[in-house]
Structure 1
Amino acid sequence: MASAPDAAPPLDKETTNLDNTGASTNGASPAAYPQMSREEHDVARAAARFGYGPLAQVNTHEARLPAFGGEFQPGLYRPVSDRKIANPAPLGLSAFALTTFVLGCINMGARDITEPNIVIGLAFGYGGLVQLLAGMWEMAVGNTFGATALSSYGGFWLAFAITLTPGGFNIVGALEAADHNSPIMFYNSFGLFLMGWFIFTFILLLCTLRSTVAFFSLFFTLDLAFLLLGIGYLVRENGAPDPKIIKAGGFFALLAAFLAWYNALAGIADSSNSFFIIPVAHFPWSEKGRERRAKVARDTV
């Protein structure tokens, strides 16, 4: 009795990837998959470029996807469907956004609030602890940028809260006592503290130049906020932080907060919970921008 033919291996998104010559990207030949002839596969590949056909959802010739702000990854990243745990970026972005929003409002003088003590609770709980946890989960999913940024800004909010906690570590009181009960030494110290975060944010900003407009704008406005707030404490008016510069820093902090929420929404919204996908505007020189230009060039030929 003739033996039964060997069962064909399963057709999946990795094993069906063929290069432009028709050879399998993983070493298997096209004949290994009798479900689709060579000609049918070539036609399906061509249709998949425009989102149609049986291979439209297949990762053809690309092992990675271009980045977007909701993943908090300016480089190339693995598709969400390949990840075993949830995307931690929106949580970290939301924690950062809310805490920054409240402090930005206070710096702009909203409702005549002059002391930022209400931010201490947020800085400890949401902007600090929760954002730090999100950064640790970014470490778990292999996102170096996200882990560094979210964990660092979580640490920033914890340090901010520790510094301003009344009677806690007595940082403000000790600096004032060292300067003969004058707040100048504290203002200078806090200004240097903020300038250090300006430098760190600028380093991260350089890593977003090939990502998206939404992602770059988040770090650009945040960097300006740190710069202006740092200058406001170092360059004083009548012995106090310059109110105009502090208010300008608060304005950019508000912009950074809303951009963080926007990027968080880009990471949360998908076809399962939203009627639309959040646009993030890829830079023309980014991976996605070059891909779109190449597609337009093919369409116009």
Structure 2
Amino acid sequence: MGLGNPAPLGLLAFGMTTLMLMYVETGWAETEFEYVVAGNAIFYGGVGQMLVAIFEIIHGSSFSFAVFFSYGAFWLGWAFVLVERAKDYSAFGDASYPTGMTLFLIQWGILSTCFFIVTLRKNICLIVVFVLLSTTFYLLAAATATSSLAVKRAAGYFGFFTAVGAFYTGVAELINEEWGRHVLPGLRPILSPALKDISKEEIQKLTSYDKKSNSMFLQFSGLQVYRKEHIAAIREGVKTAILDATKDSGGEQKVHVIVDYKNVSIAKDLEEDYWEMTRFLERHYYLSVRRFCVSSFGTRMGGDNQQQRNAAMSDGEGSSAKNSHESTAKLEEASG
């Protein structure tokens, strides 16, 4: 059984913790409430996000690992400094360092801006979150440098909407995954590959076979199915590839199949025909099948039911197995 999608937890941890701090920054809550935020920042915003980051790198998503680990560490550091300064004999004493804090906040704004650039290939939700987050850090830096309460309040409002955006993205991923379709909008990839025709011969080129494990990897990443002829081409291409690969087996001509569904899209009116075609292949040519599907941040391995298949079509971007040997190892691990 494959791992689930850890990204929603990371988004919720970031959103909830940021939301709590922004209550203080906007003036809605007492300054002392920061100590409550610190407790949440340590366990939920800090440790929670860093655990998510570890699972994301296991899934193969460098971007989500960098994001969640960075902000998880940020929250742990913020909470540590806050709690340490509250002690009677704090190493920080009563020192004030507005210049250092300004530079600190600017560098986090720059990092968030860099993350924003990466999200331009992701989806609307993440783009909005990182635009707002970058702006929040820059405004906090300006407020620290100028001691302006008005700018601090403005930063608080931007941070508030950042948190709401992260919270929405996390919840949307959970709901869309559970329903197997886009119930809540904003997670579709911004960039889609140009439409191109699909032929039986091209499909055969997208297959690779590992004789030792009797496994075939279908590298369907970026495939766009928008004509009925494409479905027929996929069926015949996969069928021919399997028959050619197993013609000397002397037994049943069936294989274990691993399919990469990264950024695959299927025209809505062809979805039922497509999945009927896959059921035909499963009955006649597959011993087993594993499908890789992806979230808005990274990659997860999906199961074989209809709902998970549809989810593979509707989620965002991430990395997948690079060759049939790696995929076969994942299959054998899952089967074991």
Indicate whether the TM-score tops 0.5: yes
Per-residue CA distance 1:76-103 (angstroms, 9 max, x = gap): xxxxxxx810111011111101110011
Match of 1:264 among 157, 170, 173: 170
Distance 1:252 1:295, change over 3 A: farther
Structure 2 distance, partners of 1:283, 1:85, is 22
Match of 1:141 among 59, 62, 66: 59
How far is the alpha carbon of 1:294 from its aligned partner? 10
Q: Does 1:188 align with 2:99?
A: yes
Q: Counterpart in 2 of 1:212? A: 123
Distance 1:208 1:145, change over 3 A: same
Distance 1:275 1:244, change over 3 A: same
Structure 1 distance, partners of 2:192, 2:63, is 17
Q: Does 1:156 align with 2:74?
A: yes
Match of 2:9 among 76, 91, 110: 91
Structure 2 distance, partners of 1:120, 1:277, is 34
Structure 2 distance, partners of 1:216, 1:104, is 20
Match of 1:104 among 14, 17, 22: 22
Match of 1:287 among 187, 192, 200: 192
Match of 2:93 among 154, 173, 184: 173
Distance 1:295 1:113, change over 3 A: farther
Structure 1 distance, partners of 2:181, 2:188, is 21
Structure 2 distance, partners of 1:146, 1:169, is 38
Q: Which stretches in structure 1 are left out of the alignment for 5+ residues? A: 1-82, 177-182, 237-241
Q: Does 1:249 align with 2:155?
A: yes
Distance 1:89 1:171, change over 3 A: farther
What secondary structure is seen at the aligned counterpart in 2 of 1:170? coil
Structure 1 distance, partners of 2:194, 2:142, is 36
Structure 1 distance, partners of 2:173, 2:46, is 21
How far is the alpha carbon of 1:232 from its aligned partner? 0.7
Distance 1:294 1:169, change over 3 A: farther
Q: Counterpart in 2 of 1:29? A: none
Per-residue CA distance 1:208-252 (angstroms, 9 max, x = gap): 11222111001110111111011111122xxxxx11111111111
Q: Counterpart in 2 of 1:59? A: none
RMSD: 3.1
How far is the alpha carbon of 1:172 from its aligned partner? 3.8
Match of 1:127 among 45, 55, 58: 45
Contact kept in structure 2, 1:210 and 1:287, CA below 8 Å: no
What secondary structure is seen at the aligned counterpart in 2 of 1:96? helix
Number of equivalences = 201
Contact kept in structure 2, 1:163 and 1:171, CA below 8 Å: no
What secondary structure is seen at the aligned counterpart in 2 of 1:259? helix
Output the amino acid matched with 2:117: L
Give the alignment's TM-score, normalised by structure 2: 0.54
How far is the alpha carbon of 1:270 from its aligned partner? 3.5
Distance 1:112 1:87, change over 3 A: same
Contact kept in structure 2, 1:222 and 1:256, CA below 8 Å: yes
How far is the alpha carbon of 1:115 from its aligned partner? 6.1
Q: Which stretches in structure 2 are left out of the alignment for 5+ residues? A: 196-221, 228-266, 269-336
How far is the alpha carbon of 1:116 from its aligned partner? 2.4
Distance 1:173 1:278, change over 3 A: same
Output the amino acid matched with 2:106: M
Q: Counterpart in 1 of 2:145? A: 234
Structure 1 distance, partners of 2:157, 2:193, is 31
How far is the alpha carbon of 1:170 from its aligned partner? 2.9
Instruction: Please identify which structure carries the higher strand content.
Output: 2
What secondary structure is seen at the aligned counterpart in 2 of 1:138? helix
Structure 2 distance, partners of 1:220, 1:189, is 24
How far is the alpha carbon of 1:274 from its aligned partner? 8.3
Distance 1:283 1:142, change over 3 A: closer
Match of 1:224 among 98, 117, 135: 135
Structure 2 distance, partners of 1:270, 1:168, is 49
